[in-house]
Structure 1
Amino acid sequence: MLLSFFRLPRVVLLVCGLFLAPSALLAWGNWGHQRINRAAVLALPAPLRTFFYNHVDFVVTEAVIPDSRKYVINDRAEFPRHFIDLEDYGTQPISELPQTSAEAYKKYDAAMLDKSGRLPWYIQDVLAKLTQSMKNGRKDEILFLAADLGHYLGDATQPLHTSSNHDGQLTGQKGIHAFFESQLPEQFGKDYNFKLAEPRLLQDPAAEAWRIIAQSHAAADTLLALEKKLAAETPPANIYALNADGQIKKNVFNNPVHTPAYSAAYHQVLNRMVERQLRTAAQATANFWYTAWVNAGKPDLTALDSNYTTQASAKQLKKELKEIQKGKLVDFRSFQEF
């Protein structure tokens, strides 16, 4: 009875968030974020995987809640956690920026961080909290923080979350954010390969967070330039889908819908960039979860569940592990933006 009581508000919260959140400020949409967390669970070593798989529905659903917190309850503190506008932090190399969150909070005031983003530093903060929650054996905190951490790592692998030109608004490409992160994976994601390597212990998580940010930022100009070139080579009538009134069709978040042919052409010239970035996010999530667990002393998290819970999950886990060997995730429903 208590479980049902808490489920209903969470579902309502999620649904409300989906319809209120402007997609230009999200990363990977529901489709991507939820698959990042699910693939990460399956990549974990057996002792850790068993615990996370026992709660895989929670970890997958909660993958999108950080975005819901922004728009449903208007949590202003949440907004800067999802991006970093690197251009705002100067022209020096990324390696010369404050690498740790302690250094960043000492150098920049809250106004600067809130305006230009906290993402790589907040990833470190959540990792520290997850590690402590594992040491303390607090199951609810572990699952909540792990799901959140997967979300922020997903944001870090979305190139446009590292640039002030986050929706192509500075280059005449408004709408590219949702196009890249939601329409493309929803249209082509069924063929993506989500098989990951075994997670590795991160000796320097701060450096790894920045490595991911740097790689994503390097891809931002590429994805913008490729779409700009493609648009110039494509008849305008073939770029956007039209509604019954002959106007550009919009999705539920009022973003323009591109034609299937144009989406296919863009997806092709990107040369699997969307798939690579999603898989990078899932691998990073597995690596950070694993690192938290090792640094917590490798506690037996399965002891936090009953034997019944573990046994009830075992058959389905076996099925999913068989599918992921082929690079496939089991079919599950996510809210469709396009």
Structure 2
Amino acid sequence: MLNYCRRVRRGILATALLLAAPSLLFAWGNWGHQRINRAAVLALPAAMRTFFYNHVDFMVTEAVIPDSRKYVINDKAEFPRHFIDLEDYGTGPISELPKGSTEAYAKYDAAFLDKSGRLPWYVQDLLVKLTTAMKNQRKDEILFVAADLGHYLGDAHQPLHTSSNHDGQLTGQKGVHSFYESQLPELFGKNYNFKLAEPKLIADPAAEIWRIVAQSHAAADTLLAIEKKLAGETPAGQLYEMAGEKPRKNVFNSSYHTQAYSSAYHKALNNMIERQIRGAAQDAANFWYTAWVNAGKPDLTKLDTEYTTKSNEKNLKEELKLLEKGKLVDFSSFPEFPQAQ
């Protein structure tokens, strides 16, 4: 009963925080971030999975808290961790940018990094922290840092988090950010495949996070171009749901696109959103696994009681069986674009 009450309180707190926060820069919204972390937990090898599944509720809840730290607590240091506006870093190839965080922090001043984003370097910083937490067997730190790391890897897989045109505001497509990352996954994500490969050791984490950023950045132009073309071919009256004479808005003041237009855009993206979300989950598992290996593969099961592990065995087996079909267990997430029942 005590654990149940704690879970309820955490859920209420997370919902309250999200209700107070704007949608911009939420990268995959509540729905996506929480499923990224849950899928990553289930992909881990058994030696890690038992521990992380014992705390899967925390991993899912904490998946969205970094965004809440930005808007609710107004943590100024939090904002640049979620994006990198690559255009601000010059017109040269991405390969010329500093790979490691030490090099980046020496080259750019803090004000520039805060304005233009620190995402790929902050991911590397967190990987170091997670490795240290695992070496030291600090249970709370392991869970906290791993869950946050999953969030920022999710951000790195959201193409619009790598571009200064993050909401289509430079191309007459304002609102595309929440449309792409929240409304579409909420509408169509139930059909996504969340079965991942076994995690792999990342030999060069700096190169890997930059590979992710480069791939996402290339996809940004694609998703914007597709939406621009589709909008031009669609009668204006068929773009947005209306509430009287004005477009219907969600709690974050984002406009609802019509079901028909949403379906057309989702189809035109040719499974891009599913690929990016699944890629984020795979990389979260890979980075967590890498931290564990580099920490010497500590026995994480010792951090929990036998009772805790036994209590979760049945549910874990059921979730793994469901995952064989590519599905995650049905759990509730705060909807940014709730649909009429």
- Report TM bin, short chain: over 0.9
Match of 2:71 in 1: 71
Letter paired with 2:255: P
Letter paired with 1:136: N
Aligned partner of residue 24 in structure 1, secondary structure: coil
Letter paired with 1:281: A
Q: Say if 1:4 and 1:184 are closer, same or farther in 2 by CA, change over 3 A.
A: closer
Match of 2:269 in 1: 270
Match of 1:197 in 2: 197
Q: Say if 1:335 and 1:315 are closer, same or farther in 2 by CA, change over 3 A.
A: same
Superposition deviation, residue 16 in structure 1: 2.8
**Residue correspondence of structure 1 range 94-105 to structure 2 within 5 A:** 94-105=94-105
Separation in structure 1 between the aligned mates of residue 12 and residue 278 of structure 2, nearest angstrom: 29
Match of 1:171 in 2: 171
Separation in structure 2 between the aligned mates of residue 4 and residue 138 of structure 1, nearest angstrom: 24
**Residue correspondence of structure 1 range 92-241 to structure 2 within 5 A:** 92-241=92-241
Paired residues of 2:250 and 2:336 also in contact (CA < 8 A): yes
Q: Say if 1:318 and 1:129 are closer, same or farther in 2 by CA, change over 3 A.
A: same
Match of 1:301 in 2: 300
Superposition deviation, residue 2 in structure 1: 8.6
Paired residues of 2:7 and 2:57 also in contact (CA < 8 A): no
Aligned partner of residue 15 in structure 1, secondary structure: helix
Superposition deviation, residue 312 in structure 1: 0.6
Paired residues of 1:20 and 1:72 also in contact (CA < 8 A): yes
Match of 1:292 in 2: 291
Match of 2:321 in 1: 322
Paired residues of 1:42 and 1:49 also in contact (CA < 8 A): yes
Which segments of 5 or more consecutive residues in structure 2 lack a partner in the other structure?
none
Superposition deviation, residue 173 in structure 1: 0.4
- Alignment: residue pair count: 337
Q: Say if 1:9 and 1:329 are closer, same or farther in 2 by CA, change over 3 A.
A: closer
Separation in structure 1 between the aligned mates of residue 303 and residue 65 of structure 2, nearest angstrom: 24
Separation in structure 2 between the aligned mates of residue 11 and residue 314 of structure 1, nearest angstrom: 23
Letter paired with 1:290: Y
Match of 1:14 in 2: 14
Letter paired with 1:57: D
Superposition deviation, residue 246 in structure 1: 2.3
Aligned partner of residue 25 in structure 1, secondary structure: coil
Separation in structure 2 between the aligned mates of residue 156 and residue 309 of structure 1, nearest angstrom: 33
Superposition deviation, residue 112 in structure 1: 0.5
Match of 1:313 in 2: 312
Match of 2:83 in 1: 83
Match of 2:279 in 1: 280
Aligned partner of residue 242 in structure 2, secondary structure: coil
Higher alpha-carbon deviation: 113-122 or 18-27 = 18-27
Paired residues of 1:163 and 1:217 also in contact (CA < 8 A): yes
Aligned partner of residue 151 in structure 2, secondary structure: helix
What do the CA deviations read for 1:35-60 (whole angstroms, capped 9, x no partner)?
00000001000010011000001101
Aligned partner of residue 193 in structure 2, secondary structure: coil
Paired residues of 1:13 and 1:68 also in contact (CA < 8 A): no
Separation in structure 2 between the aligned mates of residue 85 and residue 20 of structure 1, nearest angstrom: 25
Match of 1:257 in 2: 256
Separation in structure 2 between the aligned mates of residue 312 and residue 331 of structure 1, nearest angstrom: 19
What do the CA deviations read for 1:185-207 (whole angstroms, capped 9, x no partner)?
00000000000000000000011
Aligned partner of residue 218 in structure 1, secondary structure: helix
- Give the TM-score normalised by the residue count of structure 1: 0.97
Separation in structure 1 between the aligned mates of residue 20 and residue 39 of structure 2, nearest angstrom: 27
**What is the root-mean-square deviation of aligned Cα atoms in Å?**
1.4
Superposition deviation, residue 13 in structure 1: 3.9
Superposition deviation, residue 8 in structure 1: 7.2
Separation in structure 1 between the aligned mates of residue 194 and residue 4 of structure 2, nearest angstrom: 32
Superposition deviation, residue 14 in structure 1: 1.7
Letter paired with 2:251: V
Separation in structure 1 between the aligned mates of residue 160 and residue 303 of structure 2, nearest angstrom: 39
Letter paired with 1:127: L
Higher alpha-carbon deviation: 13-22 or 317-326 = 13-22
Paired residues of 1:18 and 1:68 also in contact (CA < 8 A): yes
Letter paired with 1:153: L
Superposition deviation, residue 252 in structure 1: 1.1
Superposition deviation, residue 25 in structure 1: 1.7
Aligned partner of residue 64 in structure 2, secondary structure: helix
Superposition deviation, residue 18 in structure 1: 0.9
Taking only the aligned residue pairs, the percentage that are identical comes to 75
Q: Say if 1:105 and 1:9 are closer, same or farther in 2 by CA, change over 3 A.
A: farther
Letter paired with 2:73: I
Aligned partner of residue 18 in structure 2, secondary structure: helix
Superposition deviation, residue 19 in structure 1: 1.4
Paired residues of 2:322 and 2:328 also in contact (CA < 8 A): yes
Separation in structure 1 between the aligned mates of residue 242 and residue 54 of structure 2, nearest angstrom: 44
Separation in structure 2 between the aligned mates of residue 105 and residue 30 of structure 1, nearest angstrom: 31
